[in-house]
Amino acid sequence: MFGRGSAPPHRILATITGKDGRTTTRRLTLDQGTGPQRRAFRVGEVSAVRFTIESAYGISGKKQVIIAEIEFFGPSSANNT
């Protein structure tokens, strides 16, 4: 559970740099609750991803925005034929 001095992220901008050097952006909206949140994120081969927090739940001058972990998964084996 989030501490009293923390604010969970609400909207995040993902800037994705592909293997070919081109960049694309995706906006992600997260739930306020705690625990894992999965978001589909299919973009092909990637060399870098930058996350920018655009807003947070319950933000104030005395609270810090928190992110515990971001995990990337490779292609699903179910997609391979």
What are 34-73's pLDDT values in tens digits? 788 888 878 888 999 999 999 999 888 888 888 888 888 8
Distance CA 2, CA 34 (A): 7
Can you give the pLDDT at residue 27? 95
Task: Tell whether pTM > 0.75.
Answer: yes
Distance CA 2, CA 33 (A): 9
62: which DSSP letter?
T
